[in-house]
Structure 1
Amino acid sequence: MTENRTDRSEVVKIDGDTPTMRLLALLEVIAAKDQLVSLQGLVEETGLPKPTLHRMLQQLEAAGMLQRDSDGRQYGTGARLRRLAENLLLNDTIHGARHAVLRRLVEDVGESCNITALSGSEVLYLDRVETAAPLRFYLHPGSRVPAHCSASGKLFLAQMTPAQRRRLLAHAPLSQYTSRTLTELDALEAEIERVGRDGYAFDNEEFLPGLFCIAVLVPSPGGRSNMGIAIQAPIMRMTERNALDSLPALRRAASALAAIEAEHATADQTACA
């Protein structure tokens, strides 16, 4: 209701000296959400006139930065914006610091390790360090794997509400890659519930035959994280039992990555002050 909107202190300001800067400010508001947004919802949140917001949304949609849902009434991030975010993650200025953490983890556990992020319904490999062991699975940075059958993907899914998961997975069928892939939604939900409770996840030959993986999330001060770290190994060297032996080292690496992210965020805030 109008009086509730007036009383709220969290009305978002869409500021900017130029139309382009105002479009970027609106894009920031939409990109920060974990759900689709409607024109009316944005009117209530920003206080901008409906015709103005409608025009801005049309411009962002035409540029590929936003896309409308199938019903045409709600907006989410577009393919161009997602590619921009992925490129920033892959090529940002703290890549070297993250890579050093990953390299130390590989030295500790003796297996290949990678840093991941969720991109749509897929897990994107941001960085990877390979083991020196002769038998290994090679997956380079930039590789993508489906969220429903990867350890990191299950962790990202576990942060969502059931409704958010259903909406995401509705556009990405639960394809079967091996005999162990979970393709029934009820079975996947049960697995995700366990993952959310335990704080770590396995991929037990669910994406590639012979590959075992254990992953944890990198802690985020905002609560919800979009960065994971994982160990991968052939099943003759890693099982569920000895994977848990690597969990302390994995969590130490995740904490180290979180510290790097926090330091980088503080430096950005100082630079902008």
Structure 2
Amino acid sequence: MKTVRTAAQLLTMFDGDTQTITVSGAANRFGLTASASSRLLAALATSGIIQREPDRSYRPGPLAYRLGLLYHAHNRLSDRINDGARKVVDQTGRTCWVSVLTETNNMLISRFPGPRDQGFYVNPGNLLPANASAAGKALLARMSDTELRRLLTGKKLDAWTEKSKTDIEAVLADMAFIREHGWSIIIDELFVDTVSIGVAFASPKEATPMALSVSLHSASPDDIASGVQILTEVGCEIGSMIGDPFWSSRNSSADQASILAAVETYMAISAAP
């Protein structure tokens, strides 16, 4: 399973600016030996998902092209999510992430960079603990408590900081907050002095829910509330387009005062010993 995950992470190196990857580049990015990187890339090339060039670099192959066509033909949610991410970046100036849930982890699948400092950097393809990430919690909240207990019981919930929540009851308490307000928030759970907020979407016509999230470094409650308001507006817009019942009854123009009150309430609870 680890090899499959590493191979998937190698594929995330491809983007608009990186159209070919090399053995040494992949090894340096993911801390692999040159031989391990070479074997993985060769195996991926054998499958057709990448292909080897004369200069020994690799580019996406015919299988990747076929899968991409199939994905876009059947997944309109991703188009809406990506449009929403761009809107969030335009309005906040902050980097916006698109994520999906994989068991008890949150996988970052796309990064839309903004000009404002977020205090850290992680690569698309990386896995973050769903119990301690804004997007992960937003996605978990789309499940019932019964489903969540079944998923989390007996699993080791990772802690990235001393604020990370690894107790199932604490995670479920956050789920209730998210379902009430529509958005998730974490405070210092992944990175110190960093707040992240997220919203999640599920299309009745598609199997995989997706989430948007942004992080704010050394932010004031007013800054956080402003970010929440923008994410909520985008959430209502996307939710309406895809027929997501989670968003159908929510107010896209919630006033910032009520959002600020909810943020401050959560911050007070989070600060309690």
TM class, shorter-chain normalised? 0.5 to 0.7
What SS is found at the alignment partner of 2:99?
Answer: strand
Considering only CA atoms, is the larger Rg found in Structure 1 or Structure 2? 1
- Are positions 1:110 and 2:88 aligned together? no
Alignment of 1:113-128 (within 5 A): 113-128=96-111
**1:21 matched residue in structure 2:** none
Q: How many angstroms does 1:219 deviate by?
A: 5.6
Q: How many angstroms does 1:140 deviate by?
A: 2.6
Amino acid at match of 2:230: A
- Are positions 1:150 and 2:133 aligned together? yes
**1:163 matched residue in structure 2:** 146
Do the aligned partners of residues 174 and 137 (structure 1) sit closer, same or farther apart at CA in structure 2, a change above 3 Å counting? same
Amino acid at match of 2:90: E
Q: Determine the C-alpha separation between the residues in 2 that align with 1:227 and 1:111.
A: 19
| 1:252 counterpart (211, 215, 233) | 233
**1:178 matched residue in structure 2:** 161
Amino acid at match of 1:202: I
**1:233 matched residue in structure 2:** 216
The 8 Å contact of residues 183 and 232 in structure 2, kept in 1 or not, is answered as no
- Are positions 1:193 and 2:160 aligned together? no
The 8 Å contact of residues 199 and 212 in structure 2, kept in 1 or not, is answered as yes
What SS is found at the alignment partner of 1:246?
Answer: helix
The 8 Å contact of residues 81 and 212 in structure 2, kept in 1 or not, is answered as no
| Superposition misfits of 4+ residues, deviation over 3 angstroms | 91-101, 219-225, 255-262
Gaps of 5+ in 1: 1-83, 263-273
The 8 Å contact of residues 152 and 168 in structure 2, kept in 1 or not, is answered as no
- Are positions 1:218 and 2:201 aligned together? yes
Q: Determine the C-alpha separation between the residues in 1 that align with 2:198 and 2:111.
A: 13
**1:243 matched residue in structure 2:** 224
Q: How many angstroms does 1:222 deviate by?
A: 6.8
Alignment of 1:45-56 (within 5 A): none
Percentage of pairs with the same residue:
21
Do the aligned partners of residues 228 and 240 (structure 1) sit closer, same or farther apart at CA in structure 2, a change above 3 Å counting? farther
Q: How many angstroms does 1:242 deviate by?
A: 2.4
The 8 Å contact of residues 149 and 203 in structure 1, kept in 2 or not, is answered as yes
Which region of structure 1 is more displaced relative to structure 2, 223-232 or 201-210?
223-232
What SS is found at the alignment partner of 2:223?
Answer: helix
What SS is found at the alignment partner of 2:135?
Answer: helix
**2:188 matched residue in structure 1:** 205
Q: How many angstroms does 1:251 deviate by?
A: 2.5
Q: Determine the C-alpha separation between the residues in 2 that align with 1:169 and 1:233.
A: 28
Do the aligned partners of residues 97 and 162 (structure 1) sit closer, same or farther apart at CA in structure 2, a change above 3 Å counting? closer
The 8 Å contact of residues 219 and 254 in structure 1, kept in 2 or not, is answered as no
TM-score (structure 2 length as normaliser): 0.54
| 1:140 counterpart (123, 126, 148) | 123
The 8 Å contact of residues 130 and 138 in structure 1, kept in 2 or not, is answered as no
Amino acid at match of 1:150: S
Q: Determine the C-alpha separation between the residues in 1 that align with 2:108 and 2:199.
A: 14
Q: Determine the C-alpha separation between the residues in 2 that align with 1:103 and 1:160.
A: 27
RMSD: 3.3
TM-score (structure 1 length as normaliser): 0.54
Do the aligned partners of residues 149 and 88 (structure 1) sit closer, same or farther apart at CA in structure 2, a change above 3 Å counting? farther
Q: How many angstroms does 1:164 deviate by?
A: 1.4
Do the aligned partners of residues 222 and 248 (structure 1) sit closer, same or farther apart at CA in structure 2, a change above 3 Å counting? farther
Do the aligned partners of residues 260 and 126 (structure 1) sit closer, same or farther apart at CA in structure 2, a change above 3 Å counting? farther
